[in-house]
Amino acid sequence: MPTFNKELMRATILAHYENPYHKETPQNPGEFMQMHLNSSGCIDDFTLYLKVVNDIVEVGYFDGFGCTISVASTSILLEMIEGMKIDDVLLIIAEYHKMLNNETFDESLLNEAIVFANTMKQPSRIRCATIGWDGVKELILQHQKKEQ
Amino acid sequence: MYDVYKIREDFPVFKNTNTIYLDNAATTYKPQSVINAVTNYLSKETANSGRGDYHDAYLVDKKLDDTRELVKDFIGAKLASEIIFTQGTTMSLNIVAFSFGHHFLHKGDEILLSIAEHASNTLPWFEIAKEVGAEVILMPLSEDGYITPEIVKEHLTPRTKIVAITHVSNVLGYVNDVKTIAEVVHANGSLIVVDGAQSVPHLKIDVQDMDIDFLAFSGHKMLAPTGIGVLYGKKALLDVMPPFLSGGGMNLSYTTDCDITFMKVPEKFEAGTLNIEAIYGLHAALTYINELGIENIAKHEYNLKQYALEKLRKLDHIIIYNEDAPTGIITFNVRGVYAQDAATYFNSKNIAVRSGQHCAKLLKHYLNELGTVRASIYLYTTKEDIDAFVEAAKTAEDFLDAYF
């Protein structure tokens, strides 16, 4: 993993905003768990699609519109978790929240997502940085509940 | 002589914050006189209104009466009893929609709104329409952003009972010709409800001259505290409307047979204890505005907006949607930048502007934009505020700087 200086952080956010990963409705949406994401403080408005098979995230998509932070953060997450065990995904999401709350966190788990370390400089945007992450967590929890 | 720097000395908030505040269409700062008036009620003459026999209660009742008079004169109403104290514009519009609606709207009737309405002048009508089986008709705006008498006329039918429109759009800042629209509406035998939230704080209003049936506005957008607003209604209409809320302070008597005799207007619509300290604040706010003169305030805002536009026009990446609107609202986007990102960038420069759909979620069909950024001016805004805003706008394409 490269060292993220400010310029690389900025470039990474912009790259994921301008060319987000899997930002489209999947061809077979019926095979996915789905969730509508929006927030009262922003006009972000997405639908999240997640496919979990044998407790592994097979693939995720999102569609809709949102600000740079919400689009880029969701894009980074969906790219990162493909093929990952759901327990590991939940762990990463927990570390990400620690980072945004200015607590000690395990940098090695977050990969590219550490580009959002500065979001706390604009606390009104923290919800934007977590909207997709909270959605993925919620869908995974729903999946676990169903499996039980 | 309008001395904005002297005016700013009346507002303690300027001593306590470096924020360059350009979100005045959302709410305004308060002068010391308003803060003093609230404190005066809380620390010197506390009593409930309308039900005490002692001296302090008398003082409170007198202040309420005085404030009603002040509001009456401020908007050119005929009678103080036509002034109902509410929580704000939203409550005022809900009272009209539900109280008037329950009594006078029937299946098949039409309610005419524009797509520029704030949610508070849209959703109550959706609700009452569903309840009584009436139909909501949504008017488009003219190409240049107005609700015109011609458009209203085109959409009126023999079934139109109510036309509810904004005087000044909270997104676009255009002033609609409410007086001529009221003529057209009345000629059709319909009634006109005007959302004055963005006009009453900034423009001279005369409800009799304009022949408005109902007018709603909020105190906090015009120097007063939050939680106080006004519903103006013509007395003949208020008299026949049922109460919206029931309880103490609005009934004369009731019996074991559930028979209630209501008080007259305005008390009929003021169940429960009013927000008395906010009414004290409203009194001081109106007094403050009267001393400055509402026409002078309007002129100040207009001049500042022109000053801002002159500078913004030179910036190719700033798209302005309402250049010719005569009020102090500037609605814009930074080319290629999502509205929320732009607002966050301005925040990083200590400039408070608002982004999004500004609670007028149908207007996107006119603007063809998902969201916009809004900068709004008030009586204490300075050229220096505008300079700082324009300076930030110059580099707003680098919006991610907000995080670095």
Distance (Å) from the alpha carbon of A47 to chain B's nearest alpha carbon: 17
Tell me which residue in A14, A42, A65 faces B400 most closely, judged by beta carbons: A14
Domain harbouring B87, CATH code: 3.40.640.10
Whether B168 and B252 share a structural domain: yes
> Is residue A45 in some structural domain?
yes
B residues 284-313 lying closer than 8 A (beta carbon) to A: none
**A47 Rama class: left (phi>0) / alpha (psi -120 to 50) / beta:** beta
Can you tell me the mean pLDDT for B140-144? 94
Q: Nearest by CB to A65, which of B355, B356, B370?
A: B370
Residue type, B133: G
Task: Tell whether A1 is covered by a domain.
Answer: no
- Specify whether the CB–CB gap between B372 and B366 falls below 8 A: no
Which residue from A6, A43, A122 is facing B347, i.e. has the nearest CB?
A122
Distance between the two ends of chain B, CA-based, in angstroms? 44
Residues B100, B236: one domain? Answer: yes
Q: Quick one: B129 and B190 in the same domain? A: yes
Do B242 and B26 contact (CB within 8 A), yes or no? no
Please give the residue range of the domain that contains residue B336.
Answer: 4-30+293-403
Which listed residue (B245, B309, B359, B388) is catalytic? B359
B359 included as an active-site residue:
yes
Same domain, B202 and B276: yes
Residues of A near B (CB-CB distance < 8 A)?
Answer: 6, 9-10, 13-14, 42-44, 65-69, 118-119, 121-122, 124-125, 128
Based on the fold, state whether residues B222 and B83 are members of the same structural domain.
yes
Q: In chain B, positions 336-355, which contact chain A (CB-CB < 8 Å)?
A: 338-341, 344, 347-348, 355
B313 and B237 housed in the same domain: no
Last residue of a domain, one of B237, B260, B290: B290
Q: What CATH code is carried by the domain that includes residue B362? A: 3.90.1150.10
Write out chain A residues lying below 8 Å of B344, CB-based: 67, 122, 124-125
Name the band, by pLDDT with cuts 50, 70 and 90, for residue B245: very high
Please indicate, yes or no, whether residues B305 and B191 belong to a single structural domain of this protein. Answer: no
> φ, ψ for residue B145 (rounded to 5)?
95, 10
pLDDT exceeds cutoff 80 at B264: yes
Count structural domains, chain A: 1
CB interface of B with A, residues 158-217, below 8 Å: none
pLDDT tens by residue, B190-203: 999 999 999 999 99
Look at B341 and A68 and tell me if their CB atoms are within 8 Å: yes
User: Which portions of chain A are predicted below pLDDT 50?
Assistant: none
Same domain as B335, residue B371? yes
Placement of tokens 């404030």 in the chain: B67
Q: Rounded CA gap, B282 and A101, in Å?
A: 40
Burial class (CB in 10 A: 0-12, 13-18, 19+), B344: buried
What is the phi-psi region of residue B368: left when phi exceeds 0, alpha when psi lies from -120 to 50, beta otherwise?
Answer: left
Residue A81 domain-assigned? Answer: yes
Per-residue tokens: B262: 């209501």
Same domain, yes or no, for B322 and B218?
no
> Which one of A68, A118, A120 would you mutate to disrupt binding with B, by most B Cβ within 10 Å of its Cβ?
A68
Q: Which two tokens stand for residue B131?
A: 């309840």
Question: pLDDT tens for residues B46-103?
Answer: 999 987 789 999 999 999 999 999 999 999 999 999 999 999 999 999 999 999 999 8
Rounded-to-integer distance, Cα B217 and Cα B197, Å: 4
Give the separation between CA A75 and CA A22, rounded to whole angstroms.
7
Residue A141's domain is classified under what CATH number? Answer: 3.90.1010.10
Q: Is A87 exposed, middle or buried (0-12, 13-18, 19+ CB in 10 A)?
A: exposed
Q: Which ipTM was obtained for this model?
A: 0.85
pLDDT at residue A3, as a whole number: 75
Instruction: State the nearest Cα–Cα gap between B403 and chain A, in angstroms.
Output: 6
* Same-domain check for residues B200 and B63: yes
Q: Given A6, A14, A43, which is nearest B340 (Cβ)? A: A43
Distance CA A63, CA B132 (A): 38
Q: Are residues B124 and B261 in the same domain?
A: yes
Same domain? B44 vs B137: yes
How many domains does chain B contain in total?
Answer: 2
Q: Is B322 exposed, middle or buried (0-12, 13-18, 19+ CB in 10 A)?
A: buried
Contact criterion met (CB < 8 Å) for A68 and B356: no
State which of B238, B264, B290 marks the end of a domain: B290
Domain-terminating residue out of B264, B290, B316 = B290
Mean pLDDT of B293-298: 97
Percent residues over pLDDT 70 in chain B? 100
CB–CB of A10 and B339 under 8 A? Answer: no
DSSP B136-178: EEEEPPPTTS---HHHHHHH--TTEEEEEEESB-TTT--B--H
Query: Cis (ω within 30 of 0) for the bond into B266?
Result: yes
Q: Is residue A76 part of a domain?
A: yes
- Do residues A37 and A44 lie in contact, with contact meaning Cβ atoms separated by under 8 Å? yes
**Cβ pairs bridging A and B (under 8 Å):** 45
